[in-house]
Amino acid sequence: MTLFTIDLAKIKGRGEFKCPRCGIKISPNDETEKAYTVLEPVMQGDLLERILLQCNKCGSQICLIGFRVQNEMK
pLDDT digits (tens, 9 = 90+) for 3-17: 999 999 899 888 899
Q: What is the DSSP string of 20-72?
A: TTT--EE-TT--S-SSEEEEEEEEETTEEEEEEEEETTT--EEEEE-HHHHHH
- Average pLDDT over the chain reads 89
CA distance 28 to 63: 14
pLDDT digits (tens, 9 = 90+) for 24-45: 999 988 888 899 999 999 999 9
pTM, whole model, 2 decimals?
0.85
Nearest to 5 by CA among 57, 46, 49, 71: 49
